Every structure is written in C-alpha cells, then in structure tokens.
Structure 1
Amino acid sequence: MFKRTALSTAIAWAFGGLAGLHLAAVQADEASPAPSAGEQTEEARSPTLAKVTVTAQKREETVQEVPASISVLGGDRLRDDALQSANEVTRYIPNASAGTTEGHGRPRWWIRGLGTGDQGANTVSPVGIYVDDVYIANISATGFPLFDQERVEVLRGPQGTLWGKNTTGGAINFISRKPTFDPSGYFKLGVGNYADRVVEGAVSDALVDDRLAARVAFRHQGRDGYSENLADNDDRGALEDDAARVQFLARINDDLEANLSLHARHYHDSAGYSTVSYGLRPDGSNQFGYRIDPSQGKVNYNAKYLADVDQAGANLNLVWQLGELELTSITAFEHFTRDGFSDSDNTPLELQRSYSYTDSQQWSQELRLASPREDRFNWVVGFHYFNEDLQSDAANAALANPYIPSFYNDVRYDQGSESYALFGSATYHFTDDFALTAGLRWTRERKDIDLERRQNQGPARFDGEDWWKLGNVASPLVVNAVQDESNTWSDYTYDLTPEYRLSDNARVYFRYAYGFRSGGYNAGVTNQATVATVDPEYLTAYELGLKSEWFDGRLNANAALFYYDYEDIQLNIVTAVNNQTVSRLANGAEGEAYGAEFELEAIPVENLHLNFALGLLHTEFTDYTSGSNDYSGNKFVRAPSVSAVIGADYRIPLEVGGALILGTDWNTRSRQYFFSNDQSQAMRSGGYTLGNARVTYELPGETSRVTAYVNNLTGKDYRNHTLPGGYQTAGLMYGDPRTFGVSVTTDF
C-alpha cells in the first residue's frame, strides 16, 4: 500500500518506535510497586492534561477515544492567542493551511494536500467548514471572525459518512459557547500597531430560572492597512469587521432542549492582501517597461481595491431524549453577499479594473437518532437536506490607452443546488479491547446553472472610477458563451474502522474511507469552448493510527500514517488569457498522497505546558494532462513536504498574588506550490518559519489578564500567494508582517 521510500521508512521507524516506547513504559509501570499513601497524595496533586470532550462522531466522547486524526483548539486559547479570523486556526495543525487573498475573507482551505484555489463562488471546497454543525457551502463565507468559541475541532481525512459530501480533505467545526443559567461572560479590549483595535465580549444569564437562558456575544475589529501605496502615499488594506451572535437556550421539559442562534456580520476591506505586480522580463519589467522591486508593505496602483461582505443567519438545534435514545434536529439558514472591486493590473498604469458580486442563500435540515455511546452496540442514523441559491456577476474591463485597446466582459450566472442524504454509523465492541465501526452514506445532488458571458471590443466611456459598469460600454455587447444545464449526481461514501486497545492508556486503529467532492460547473469561462461541467472527484484513504496517554495523564502522544488514492481530481488551472488572469475549473487528473503526523501534548513539570506537531507529506499527480501539456509528476498545491508546530506556555506564580505567563509558538513549512499547472520558481513559496510570543500578567483572583503579544516575531517576509498576470507580469501577495499589541481581558 505504501511505497518503500526513505520518507516512508522513516515514518514506519518513528511510528513503531513510539508504540514500542509506550509499551515499554506500560510494562515498567506494571512492574513498579504500588505507591505509598504519601506518594498517592503527591500524585493526586500532580498536574494532568484535561480530558477534552468532542462531537466529531456526532456524539460526545473524549478526543483521545476517537479513532481518527483530530486536533482540538479550545476557545480560551483562541482568544488569548489573539486569533482574529477562522483561517488562522490552521497555524496549529500539521499538514493544514488556509491562506486568504484578503484580510479576513476568502480562505483557501487545505488539509493533507487536498483543497482548492478556485475562488469562484460556485466552487466547493473538499474541506468542509461547519459552524455549530451547520455546513457553510460558500468558501467566501468561511473567513468569519473568531469570538466566544467553545472549541474548534479539525478532522483530517475523508469524513463523508457523518459530515457528508465535500469532506474528502476533512472537516472543521467551529463550536460557539452556549448560554448558561448562571451569570457568566467576558470582556476584552485590545490595541496594536497599524492602529489595530479590538473590542469583544459576551454575557450569559437565565431569563427564566432553569427554563430559559440567553447569551449575547459581539466583536469589533478595525485596523489600518499593511501596505503603502506608492501611487498616492496612502495605506491600503484597512479593514473593519463587526459581528454579533444572540442565543437562547430553552429547557422545554425534562426531555426536550432547544437552542436558537441568530448571528450577523458586516465586513469592509480595502485589500487586506494588497497585490504588488512585478515584471517577468529579465530586467524585472513588464512588456510596457513598468518595473517595481516587490517588497512587503509596498504596492503601486491607481484604482480602488475593496470588498464589502454582509452575512446573517439562524439555526435551531433541538435535542429530544426518547428513553435511552437521543433525537437531534438542526434547522439552519445562511445569507451571504459580497461586493468586490480591484485594480486588476496592480500597477499605476490604467490597464484593467474588475468588479464582482455574489449573493448566496442556503438552508439545511438534519435529523439524527443515536443510541447511548457506552452501549456494546451503539449507532447513529440520520437524514440531511441542503438547498442553495447562488447568483454571481463578475466584470473585467480596460479603457483604451497607448498600450492596449479597450474591452469589456461580464460573466453572470444563477446556480441552484439541492441535495439530500441518508446516513448511518455503528460500532460494535466484540470484546472490551476490540471494536469495529462501519459507516455508510448515500447522497443525491442536483445542480442547475444559467450562465451567460458577454463581451465587446469597442470603446468604453470613463465615468469617475466606475468605467467597468455596463452602462459605460458604448459599443454593442456580444454573447460569446452560454450554459443552461442541469445535472444530477448520486453516490455512496463509507468507512470501516477496527480499533484495538493495547492497554488502558493506548489504542491503535486502522481506518478505510471512501469519499467524494460533488460535481459542478466552470464559472471561469472565456468563450464557448471553455464551458464545462465538472464531474465529482473521489478519494480512497487508508490510515493507521495510535493514540496514547503516558505518565499518569501528563503526556498525550498520537501518530498516524495515511495513504490517499485520488481520482477525477477537480483542478484549478490558472493562466493568463488575453492578458487577463483566468481561473478555470476542470477535472480528470489522478494522484496520490502519503505521509504521517505526530502530535504531542505534555505537562513535563508543574506550570509548563508544551505541544508539538509534525506533518510529513508526499504528493504527486500521477496522470495529469491539459491540452497538449503533461503535468504528471507535479506536486499538489499548498502541500509542503514538512510542516511542524511547537508551542510552550509557562506560568510563574507571584508572591504578591497572580501570575506571569510566558508563551510562544512557532510554525515552519517547507516549499509549496500555488498552482497545479505552473510550478515555476515565480509561482511558488520557499520554506519559512513564523514565530509568535506573548507575555500575560494574570491578576490575583485569576479573572483578569493583561497580555502583550508579538506575531511574526522575526518580521519574516514570505509569499502568501502569487498570480500569473497579463503583459508579462505576476501579482505577488505577502503574508502578514510583524504585528504587536496589548489586550486586557476580564472574565465574570
């Protein structure tokens, strides 16, 4: 199953050594004499890692008991580490990333080499993003701010049985804190460089004793831009992000509980990742002689860059206790709109401008019936329905100038999606040590699209900054591409997982899973020949894992080996067509990926908490042709061969009361590629390491904290993304620069 390479040999050695070390430790413990009463008292006071409860398998259990690769981030950690946007959670996860092309918007989610760079509104990601168990289909709607979170669960590998289609890469579930019947909450105020300011908080209490509780949470962040525009000496990249959530928890009777969540967000961004365009000719210029030395914090363009996002939604979660069974109903609605403008050529030359608009509405219904998890034979069955209505309008235009003739093109489409699924998963414990889990899901999905592309080659009229508008096009438009089509796909996903308990503190599992990402349509059309229907892609995955706890709960050590067989891959092919950057969705390639992950969490001495994660990954397109080009042998996109995370927090109690907490985390990644077809030096990122540090003073009483932090401690310049452009140029986007600040947080 695994190719015998130096990488796989090292993985096998490390994995086997870890298991052997654990068994040796267990044997040593068994051979040791029983501790004395005094030793037992001291041991009882020894610090241990907290047991973390998750719902990765749709029922509550500790994360160490889940036979799958899963990482969990607690809400307090997200808040104390000053994480701002959902995509930032991947900085702690091996073999995962989620870079964005604007401040807090449009993340590109990747796990174990599976993801998509296509930013089309109708493109679904193979990494499923969920908020309180509700699937969010529109990738652009997944860059929401993080506030008042209970935890985030990151599941690696296909999750098609319980989490549905479009989870071949994995699933990430953001879980908000629920209302409490006792007064509780927090307030946080933060300031930093680039005029960064954050105000967030939450308050929860009972409205009717033991019957009705409410929780209100909010967040505001604003900051200036990270980039100076050389054309006008003004900052670019400023953002404002406002969000709120209101929840009501009702205990209708002893057997029925309801939680209603209402949430909204408004986001404004003037190019959080402003793009600098540099020439690809030997002297660093483009075909018109324009030249800029690309550097972080410097851009040079003459047109506006901005995005306005509005999101709102509601979900109702009902839980009935039907004797020993539990029935769960989740009804949800989400509405998302985005207006975007950009200077497409990213230069002070008047070459191109573009505009895009997206409006998506989705609603879903899930029903689940589950038996008690502790039963010898336990199961969960369910039904899921999903419906989405999506409209998109994207225009690109150029005004006649000494360099190029004017043009205008506009792609508009309406797409409807409807799917429903039946699923079930069951676990049978043959003995106290051996159990087998099997899951099956059947999904049927229908998608229809009404698309039209119009263009002209005549003159356009200039009207302020809005010369891209249809009303400013003087010559008649010609329809050069249409698609009026409907398709239905149906298929099964399944998994089989035997697990064996080696001891009270160690378990091994083997997971076989089959999943798919649903089909769709190419929205990046340039003419009728590029109109395309994209078939579903399929993934067969094999995973061998170990989960263990050592030294009386002071060390958790987990490891996993995996192999992926990837078929009919949906590819994001990015090229410059007629001097415009075009992203086209197509499929048909095949590939494989294999690797390993190791995760350690420990409290080696009192007050010191350590975590370490290592991801090793090999990816390759085994069969990939496009036209006359053969890209077989290329690597998967955003799939560094090595990724590692290490972090530490040390708490120093103070004699006067309170404590000083020193914390740091470091993230390193090797070389990675931004596109599947073009893997030249200009279209990739070299390896880099990013470090963050923080110092917290915890006041006596442990309810208030003052934290000073620095992110990107070394001020590392690194590429977040690169785009091929027209006129012999490339657009370069840098990652975040060094940022620092201070925050005050009070819990009550």
Structure 2
Amino acid sequence: MFKRSTLSTAIAWALGGLAGVYLTAGHAADATTPAKAAEEQTTASSAPTLAKVTVTAQKREETVQEVPTSISVLSGDKVRDTSLQSANEVTRFIPNASAGTSEGHGRPRWWIRGLGTGDQGANTVSPVGIYVDDVYIANISATGFPLFDQERVEVLRGPQGTLWGKNTTAGAINFISRKPTFEQSGYFKAGIGDYNDRVLEGAVGDTLVDERLAARVAVRHQGRDGYSDNLNDGNDSGTIEDDAARLQFLARINDDLDATLNLHARSYHDTGGYSTVSYGLRPNGTNQFGYFIDPEKGKVNYNAKYETDIDQAGSNLNLVWQLGSLELTSITAFEHFQRESWSDSDNTPLELQRGYGDVDAKQWSQEFRLTSPREDRLNWVLGFHYFNEDLDSESANAALTNPYIPRSYNNTTYNQGTESYALFGSTTYSFTDDFNVTAGLRWTRETKDIDFVRRQNQGQANFNGADWWKLGTVSTPLVVNATQDESNTWSDYTYDLTPEYRLSDNARVYFRYAYGFRSGAYNTGAVSQATVATVDPEYLTSYELGFKSEWFDGRLNANAALFYYDYEDIQLNIVTAVNNQTVSRLANGAEGEAYGAEFELEAIPVENLHLNFALGLLHTEFTDYTSGNDDFSGNKFVRAPNVSAVIGADYRIPLNVGGAIILGTDWNTRSRQYFFSNDQSQNMRSGGYTLGNARVTYELPGETTRVTAYVNNLTDKEYRNHTLPGGFQTAAVMFGDPRTVGLSVTTDF
C-alpha cells in the first residue's frame, strides 16, 4: 500500500514513455483487452482474426455484427484487465456516451447521444435503462455498483422500449455476470496503487452434483484513501470502502428446464466523494461575505460531516424452458437499496449549509418471454413485464450557528409507489436470404402515487442535539410550505421498424425507425407550493441508418451509424440557487433535436496487434425551451459534446522463454460540454479534454497468470467532472480523478 511516492512517479514515467514510443511508431488504439489475444486470434488457419462476439441485445443469442442496431460491447476480460472499478466507467470506451458521478462510485449520471438526466432525485427515472442480468434497476443511485466477474457489458444506443422495457428512450446498458457451468473455472486478482488503493477480487465455479447442480461465487473488495486533503481537519476526503459478493446456482432440473438463482449484496462507504470546492462568483473571487478560496484540485475545506453509506441486496431467479422449438423464459427479481448521506453543502469552512439525505427503495419485477427459433423465416419474441417499486425518501438542509446568516432548517419527506405493466413483441420476417424486416410493439401502463411534505422553520431555527437533520432536534415551530398527495396513470405505445439488407456476405445495411416515451413523474425538488408539479411524459422519434461490415478475412470490423432525433415534452432538471440553496427542479415542455454519427473500427492489422477506434459526432439543440420569463431556446443538450473519440491499442510480444509482454494504451477525448440545460455560462461547463491510460503486462508461461502495471490519466489532466450553482454568490466545482498508478496480479484457473 502506498501513497504518491518516488515509485509511483517512476512507474508513471516508464509507462508514459512506453506509450509515447508505441504511438510514435504508428500504432493506433484499442478499447479491447489483450489478455485473451491468443484465444481471439485462433482460427482454422494460421492468420489471426477477430473473435465473434455473442450478445443478447434482441433477447436471443446473436453475434454483435448481426444485430441491426447501434451497439458496443465490452468483454468481461477487458473490464477486468483495464481495471474498471465502477459501472459508470464503461462509458470510457463508448462514443457519444458518458456517466459522470458526483461522488466516488455512487449516483452516476447516464447519457447516450445527448439524452439523460442530471436530476438526482431518488424518484427520477433515467431515459438510459440500466439492467443487471436482464433485471431493470430503477433507482439511479443504485447503478454505480462495482464491476467484477463480468461476462460482458452491452451498450445499446437509441430507443429500446420494445424489448427493453421501461423508459429507454436514450438506450439500454446491460451488465451480464459470468454464470455457473458444469466445468471448474475461476480467477483471483490482487492490486495495489497510490492513494493506498487496494483491490481483492475473485471467483470460483464448479459442479456440485454431476450434470444437475453447479455454483459460482464471486467477491470483491476495494479500499482507497481520498484524492483530496481537507484543510479544515487534515484528513483525507473521498476515501472509499466498497465490498460486494454474488452467489449463483445453476440447476438442470431436466433436459428441457434450467434454473439460475442469483443472490448478491453490496456495502459501500465514502467520505466526500470527489474533490468539491466552492469559489466566489464576485469579480474578486469572493462570495457575498468576502470569503475567498482558491478552487484548487486536491484541496477541500469541509467543517461538517461528509459521508455516504450504501447497502444493496437482491436476488433473481431465471427459468428457461425448451418447449419443443420454442423457448420460454421467466425472470423474477427483487432489489433493495438504501442510501444515507451527509454533506457540507457550502463546501467551505463557513457554517452556511449542511445537507442530509436518506433513501430506501424496494423493487420487484417479473418478466415472461416466449421466443421462436431465430433461424425461422418468420421468427418472433412475445413477452410480459411487471414492475413494482416502493420508495421512501427524506432530506434536510440547515444553517447552524453562523455570524453571517440566521439559523434555518427545512425537511422534505415523500413516499412514492410505482406499478407498471407492459405487453411487448417483436417479429422478423426474411423476405429473401438478403432482405428482412423487423417490427416491434410495446404497450405500457404505469401508475405512480406520491405523498410529499416539505417543512421549514418559522423564525430562527433552534437545535437540541447533534443530529440536526432529525425533525425531533428542531425546537423551533415548523410549518408545511409544500405538499402533494396525488396519483396518476400514464399509458402509451412504443414501436420500431427495421428493414435490413445484406449487401454481401460481409456487409449489411439497415434503417431503424423507433418511437419511445418516458412516463410522467413528480417534482420532489419543490421548495414551495407553487413549485409542486406533476411532469408529463416525454417522447422521442428516432431515425437511424446503419452499416456493419467485416473485411480482410475477419481481421477488420467497420461499423457506422447516422441518426436524427425529434425530442418532445422533454423532462428537464432546472438547477438554480433558491434562497441561497441549490435546487434541482423537474419540469418539462421543451422541444429539441439531435443528430450525429458514430464510426467504430476494430482490427488486427498484423499478428499480435489489436486496434480499436471509435468516433462520435453530435449536434444538439433545444428548439423551443422557455421557463417562466426566460427563453433558453438554442441551448445545447446536457453532457453532449460535439466530438467524442476513443483510440487504443494492445501489442503482444511473445517471449522465447514462454509467456509474453503486452503493451496497451487507450485515449479518450471529448469536446466542450454543458452541465445544465438552463445555465450554460462559462462557470457551468467543462472545456474539452483528453485522458490517456497506459499499461504493461507480463504474461507468465502457461498464459494463466498476468502481472500488470498501469497508469490512468497519464498526463494528470485537470478537468471538471461537474459544477453546481450555490448560494451566497458561489459555485462548486467537482474535479475528475487525478493520475493514478497501480500494480495488479491476476491468475485464472
């Protein structure tokens, strides 16, 4: 375990030099792990070829090149060997996608092609559908889970409402874990890095009863000191402890029926998350009280408790019946998520604001799918999906003893229940061997009811006890200034139509027309009765033209997609400072458009060299957007850079004594992006930046054990991950991760 040191600096310089020499030699880039290069390149002939990647994006197994939609796939080996820690980090390799987070490994903000939501209300549903082993996860805060023992991650762009259920106007991301088999397998990984980073993870699977029962258990632990020093108390800010486990059983009940039971849990703790620093907006850099702090990366100044605790647990039972030529799938799932957090909301040593939040969410879902054989001229998928969630939330803000302002307190509690039913189907008809058409339809009915109450102090607040956030500690009379007791039901159809034509044995073109909607919601950020609101559904019409191809006997894959979005009644989070408190208000009614393109190349130009390149081009604009007396028409969508690109490479050097050296690097660049739809001033945006990573792996003879040294953020680029408007003429900037250096050992068995 080590903090920044001479050793870490030496490794950084060594890897940086290798990456520089490597790129100077003319080697491009990679977004795929090299650890299994021998397997990926093995064919009947001696020439290396790209592996065929199997996905279930259309609820049945197909190779990714055969799926007529824009999709990117990360293998589980790549996730492990590039040391991706949290779910949101997968977008590091995906063009036109991002998932910034405002704290450690929690609360990701998911965006695909400019569509997403920055609203962090527990009841806000993202237009990017997040799935774990085909189970939909509703609560955004529950989607920052650690990545371990993954089979693959599938990222689908564009509306996916037909087959992927709720609110997937922007796209769907499915995290698929490795399943038990009747063969022994497993791995162990240990890693250390600067900032006292330490990772232990592993998995083992084997047969318990011959050909009848198998199991697989996987565990992971990560601990890390904070990236920032708290000037107020001298401690680290941003420390992380993240523990997770998954236990799965596979039962072959008979020749036609398999059952997989998945049990999983997570416990997470952090202090302060990212380096969040407030700075004054007055010309001399001070706030309204004349207080000045230099917004320096790695230096924070908190005088209040800043912590987050998350506990998650869940289970799902997957049954697969073979009914003659048909297959019936049942997925029953339950998830429980709890999150409690405290924050120094003003991010200064002044006693201006403290924040508290507590969320308890329980969801269960049931899905049935009946599918016909994919090879039939007419093939189809029919299904039913049920979803139920019970959500309780409490939040509080207060200003305690302070010479500048009077003591204040407010408390918001709500319970929201959600119940959703959907019938869906998709069918493909092959008119000829080269031409087919896929059509999908889904009907969804969703009911949400809410019981919302907001209270605030009347007169100067007085507190009896250290637990200031609790209603019982406030001795001052409280008044209800906002309430809502309401139930609403929304229902609508989503659909898509996709003709596809095979130009040759190695090239296909498709056109996809899709219509999606995100159901209505409630504004739980209301601060007065006037801001209590029920938000209508939003709608998206998408047009996409795509091309997929393979060249040079399987050594090059080249894909491209052009798209246009017509976006109506957009649900937006409008972030402002109200009464010197940062408030995120959910509203809708805006209209906008987005268009762009993605280009993806994967190649093995010569033996042992694997290259990847992905480019995303995006134009977004609110064509009609007013809020009160303000007109924001012409603003850009949030977190929608005009250009995003990924380039990387892995080169394997076999050694005469056995084993190999593998050199790897990947680079990610993004142009300017905005954090809010309403405020797009210089203070509320991020300039363009490029992040590079490098690694050197020694693969021991036998190809089962690998030792890897790595550097992330190779150039130690300072960039903004998020910015928030604050009260008292301030703003808060959250910096992205600094350069980190580490070493890991991985053994497969």
- Whether these two folds match at TM > 0.5 is yes
Q: Distance in 1 between matches of 2:575 and 2:91?
A: 25
Structure 2 counterpart of 1:736, one-letter code? D
Q: Which residue of 2 aligns with 1:251?
A: 252
Report deviation, 1:457: 3.4
Q: Distance in 2 between matches of 1:539 and 1:484?
A: 29
**Pair 1:217 & 2:218 matched:** yes
Alignment of 1:608-627 (within 5 A): 608-627=609-628
Q: Distance in 1 between matches of 2:43 and 2:643?
A: 41
Q: Which residue of 2 aligns with 1:266?
A: 267
**Pair 1:677 & 2:678 matched:** yes
Alignment of 1:324-723 (within 5 A): 324-462=325-463, 465-723=466-724
Contact 1:165–1:515, Cα closer than 8 Å, also in 2: no
Contact 2:156–2:173, Cα closer than 8 Å, also in 1: yes
Contact 2:718–2:738, Cα closer than 8 Å, also in 1: yes
Structure 2 counterpart of 1:413, one-letter code? Y
SS at match of 1:49: coil
Q: TM-score, normalised by structure 1?
A: 0.94
Structure 1 counterpart of 2:120, one-letter code? Q
742 and 465 in structure 1: CA distance in 2 versus 1, 3 angstrom threshold: farther
Deviations 1:275-321 (A, max 9, x none): 10000000101011111111211111211111000000000000000
Structure 1 counterpart of 2:225, one-letter code? D
Q: Which residue of 1 aligns with 2:34?
A: none
Q: Distance in 1 between matches of 2:341 and 2:276?
A: 15
Higher relative contact order (CA 8 A, sep 6+): 2
Structure 2 counterpart of 1:367, one-letter code? F
Q: TM-score, normalised by structure 2?
A: 0.94
Q: Which residue of 2 aligns with 1:204?
A: 205
Q: Distance in 1 between matches of 2:185 and 2:700?
A: 18
Structure 2 counterpart of 1:674, one-letter code? F
Deviations 1:454-483 (A, max 9, x none): 111334445675333322212111001110
Report deviation, 1:215: 0.2
Alignment of 1:158-177 (within 5 A): 158-177=159-178
SS at match of 1:44: coil
499 and 718 in structure 1: CA distance in 2 versus 1, 3 angstrom threshold: same
Report deviation, 1:743: 0.3
Report deviation, 1:406: 1.1
**Pair 1:51 & 2:35 matched:** no
Contact 1:417–1:445, Cα closer than 8 Å, also in 2: yes
Q: Distance in 1 between matches of 2:441 and 2:293?
A: 55
Contact 1:461–1:467, Cα closer than 8 Å, also in 2: no
Q: Distance in 1 between matches of 2:660 and 2:740?
A: 25
Contact 1:723–1:731, Cα closer than 8 Å, also in 2: yes
SS at match of 1:64: helix
Deviations 1:316-340 (A, max 9, x none): 0000000000000000000000000
Report deviation, 1:658: 0.3
Q: Distance in 2 between matches of 1:104 and 1:720?
A: 13
Contact 2:50–2:603, Cα closer than 8 Å, also in 1: yes
Which stretch of structure 1 is more off in the superposition, 501-510 or 448-457?
448-457
Q: Which residue of 2 aligns with 1:110?
A: 111
Report deviation, 1:43: 8.6
Q: Distance in 2 between matches of 1:81 and 1:189?
A: 13
Q: Which blocks of at least 5 consecutive residues in structure 2 are unaligned?
A: 1-41
SS at match of 1:135: strand
SS at match of 2:347: coil
Which stretch of structure 1 is more off in the superposition, 291-300 or 707-716?
291-300
Report deviation, 1:148: 0.2
Contact 1:453–1:480, Cα closer than 8 Å, also in 2: yes
491 and 404 in structure 1: CA distance in 2 versus 1, 3 angstrom threshold: same
Q: Distance in 2 between matches of 1:706 and 1:42?
A: 27
Report deviation, 1:198: 0.2
Q: Which residue of 2 aligns with 1:318?
A: 319
SS at match of 1:275: strand
Contact 2:464–2:474, Cα closer than 8 Å, also in 1: no
Q: Which residue of 2 aligns with 1:73?
A: 74
Deviations 1:666-717 (A, max 9, x none): 0000000000000000000000000000000000000000000000000000
Contact 1:365–1:384, Cα closer than 8 Å, also in 2: yes
Q: Distance in 1 between matches of 2:79 and 2:71?
A: 17
Deviations 1:573-618 (A, max 9, x none): 0000000000000000000000000000000000000000000000
Q: Which residue of 1 aligns with 2:128?
A: 127
Deviations 1:155-196 (A, max 9, x none): 000001000121000000000000021111000000000000
Q: Distance in 1 between matches of 2:400 and 2:492?
A: 48
Q: Distance in 2 between matches of 1:458 and 1:550?
A: 74
Structure 2 counterpart of 1:375, one-letter code? D
Structure 1 counterpart of 2:641, one-letter code? P
Query: How many residue pairs end up in the alignment?
Result: 708
Contact 1:325–1:372, Cα closer than 8 Å, also in 2: yes
Which stretch of structure 1 is more off in the superposition, 475-484 or 225-234?
225-234
Q: RMSD in angstroms over aligned alpha carbons? A: 1.0
Contact 2:463–2:475, Cα closer than 8 Å, also in 1: no
Contact 1:409–1:456, Cα closer than 8 Å, also in 2: yes
Q: Distance in 2 between matches of 1:736 and 1:645?
A: 18
Q: Which residue of 1 aligns with 2:8?
A: none
SS at match of 2:509: strand
Deviations 1:124-172 (A, max 9, x none): 0000000000000000000000000000000000001000121000000
Q: Distance in 2 between matches of 1:391 and 1:487?
A: 18
SS at match of 2:511: strand
Q: Distance in 1 between matches of 2:404 and 2:650?
A: 57
Q: Distance in 1 between matches of 2:299 and 2:465?
A: 25
Q: Which blocks of at least 5 consecutive residues in structure 1 are unaligned?
A: 1-40
Q: Distance in 1 between matches of 2:105 and 2:519?
A: 26
Q: Distance in 1 between matches of 2:464 and 2:733?
A: 29
Q: Distance in 2 between matches of 1:457 and 1:688?
A: 47
Structure 2 counterpart of 1:61, one-letter code? E
Structure 1 counterpart of 2:140, one-letter code? I
Deviations 1:653-675 (A, max 9, x none): 01111000000000000000000
Structure 1 counterpart of 2:370, one-letter code? L
Q: Distance in 2 between matches of 1:482 and 1:302?
A: 32
Q: Distance in 2 between matches of 1:562 and 1:538?
A: 16
Q: Which residue of 2 aligns with 1:10?
A: none
Q: Distance in 2 between matches of 1:198 and 1:372?
A: 43
Contact 1:458–1:474, Cα closer than 8 Å, also in 2: no
Q: Distance in 1 between matches of 2:735 and 2:647?
A: 23
SS at match of 1:88: helix
Alignment of 1:263-302 (within 5 A): 263-302=264-303
Structure 1 counterpart of 2:355, one-letter code? S
SS at match of 2:350: coil
Contact 1:459–1:473, Cα closer than 8 Å, also in 2: no
Report deviation, 1:400: 4.1
Deviations 1:392-444 (A, max 9, x none): 00000112421111111111000000000000000000000000000000000
Q: Distance in 1 between matches of 2:465 and 2:738?
A: 33
Contact 1:303–1:465, Cα closer than 8 Å, also in 2: no
Structure 2 counterpart of 1:277, one-letter code? S
Contact 2:279–2:287, Cα closer than 8 Å, also in 1: yes
Q: Distance in 2 between matches of 1:466 and 1:601?
A: 55
